[in-house]
């Protein structure tokens, strides 16, 4: 699942390529929008809110998309071949210089501009947003002090932008077991600041690293390292499925560095 830094970079790419251009064609490959035609309207901007993308078109419309698990936006010159199968395309925005193709998007919906809050109004402070508010993120996290740390950090209503990779890494960096109560963490403020620093450090690069080492196989402390030796103490990293039924995720931790 893409993390907030990936979505931020996607928004910047779309914004730089498309903003100020007039749509020469639009294809929505989702049934509800199949008859919508925005040809002739100008793309004003694309911005990220947490892991949501908002592309503002004309004076009245906002295209809301979300990458969810497998989604991606690609930019192509009009004559260039696509790098993913055509049947995965959910929306195509055509401009004179670029075609933007959204593949396998988890959400594609067209909102009225003044209704954007219906898509993103529930989000907590945006880790990469201009209005990032760490104190508010801490306040929201502590409003439900009994929740497992890993679940509280993944809940975009508390703070927006973290996915499973960063959440697992933040638990390790804080020495906290992922299932510990969020209210028991001695310094939640430090964790929240660290979360923002990690996303900021990674938003300019395609290889995400929480260790400071972007070499393949060296990028994480615990994420996707089950049965490997902890980089700090040598203990075997453990993995378990956690979270509510139907939305379980793999959670990784070092039992020595992150005691229960």
Quick check: is 3 catalytic?
yes
Kindly name the residue from 139, 224, 231, 249 that is annotated as catalytic.
249
Sort residue 102 into left (φ over 0), alpha (ψ -120 to 50) or beta: beta
Rounded CA-CA distance 150/248 in Å is 12
* In the complex, residue closest to Zn ion by CB: 230
Looking at the Cβ atoms of 84 and 232, the one nearer to Zn ion is 232
Q: Which stretch binds Zn ion (CB under 5 A): 102-110, 139-147, 159-167, 234-242?
A: 234-242
| Closer residue to Zn ion in complex, CB, 36/256 | 256
Q: Taking CB under 5 A as the rule, does residue 36 contact Zn ion?
A: no
Pick the closer one to Zn ion by CB: 197 or 228.
228
Nearer to Zn ion, 133 or 238 (CB): 238
The binding track of 54-93 with respect to Zn ion, each residue x by CB under 5 A or -, is ----------------------------------------
Shortest CB 234 distance to Zn ion, Å: 7
Q: CA 163, CA 197: separation in Å to the nearest integer?
A: 15
Work out which of 86, 118, 256, 259 binds Zn ion, going by CB under 5 A. Answer: 256
* Residue 254 binds Zn ion (CB under 5 A): yes
**Least Cβ distance, residue 258 to Zn ion (angstroms):** 7
Residue 232 as a binder of Zn ion (CB under 5 A): the answer is: yes
| Residue choice 112, 228, 233, 240 for contact with Zn ion (CB under 5 A) | 233
Quick one: which of 54, 57, 47 has its CA closest to 94? 57
Annotated catalytic residue 116:
no
Q: Which of 51, 56, 94, 203 is catalytic?
A: 51
51 as an active site residue: the answer is: yes
Among 84-92, 97-105, 227-235, 240-248, the segment contacting Zn ion (CB under 5 A): 227-235
Query: Of 41-49, 115-123, 179-187, 230-238, which segment contacts Zn ion by CB under 5 A?
Result: 230-238
Is 68 considered catalytic here? Answer: no
Please report whether residue 229 would count as binding Zn ion according to CB under 5 A. Answer: no
HEC string of the chain equals: CCCHHHHHHHHHHHHHHHCCCECCEEEECCHHHCCCCCCCCEEEEEEEECCEEEEEECCCEEEEEECCCCCEEEEECCCCCCCCCHHHEEEEEECCCCEEEEECCCEEEEEEHHHCHHHHCCCCCECCCCCCCHHHHHHHHHCCCCCEHHHHHHCCCCCECCCHHHHHHHHHHCCCCCCCEHHHCCCHHHHHHHHHHHHHHHCCCCCCCCCCCCCCCCCCCCCCCCCCECCCCCCECEEEEECCCCCCEEEEECCCCCCC
Rounded (5°) CA angle 28-92-71 = 90
List, by residue number, the catalytic residues: 2-3, 51, 249
For Zn ion, the binding residues (CB under 5 A) are 230, 232-233, 235, 254, 256-257
């Amino acid at each position: 699942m893409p993390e907030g830094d990936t979505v931020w970079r996607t928004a910047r790419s779309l914004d730089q390529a498309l903003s100020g251009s007039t749509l020469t064609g639009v294809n929505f490959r989702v049934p509800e929008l199949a008859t919508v035609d925005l040809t002739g309207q100008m793309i004003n901007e694309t911005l990220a809110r947490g892991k949501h993308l908002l592309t503002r078109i004309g004076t009245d419309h906002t295209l809301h998309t979300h990458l969810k698990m497998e989604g991606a936006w690609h930019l192509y010159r009009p004559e260039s071949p696509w790098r993913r199968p055509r049947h995965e395309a959910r929306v195509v925005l055509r401009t004179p210089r670029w075609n933007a193709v959204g593949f396998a998007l988890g959400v594609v919906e067209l909102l009225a501009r003044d209704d954007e809050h219906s898509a993103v109004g529930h989000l907590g402070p945006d880790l990469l947003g201009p209005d990032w508010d760490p104190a508010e993120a801490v306040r929201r996290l502590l409003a439900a002090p009994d929740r497992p740390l890993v679940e509280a950090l993944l809940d975009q209503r508390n703070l927006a932008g973290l996915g499973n990779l960063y959440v697992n890494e933040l638990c390790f960096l804080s020495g906290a077991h992922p299932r510990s109560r969020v209210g028991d963490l001695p310094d939640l403020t430090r964790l929240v600041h660290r979360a923002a620093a990690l996303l900021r450090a990674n938003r300019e690069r395609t290889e995400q690293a929480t260790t400071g080492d972007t070499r393949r196989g060296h990028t994480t402390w615990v994420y996707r390292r089950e049965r490997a030796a902890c980089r700090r103490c040598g203990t075997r990293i453990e993995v378990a499925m956690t979270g509510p039924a139907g939305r379980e995720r793999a959670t990784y931790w070092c039992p020595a560095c992150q005691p229960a």
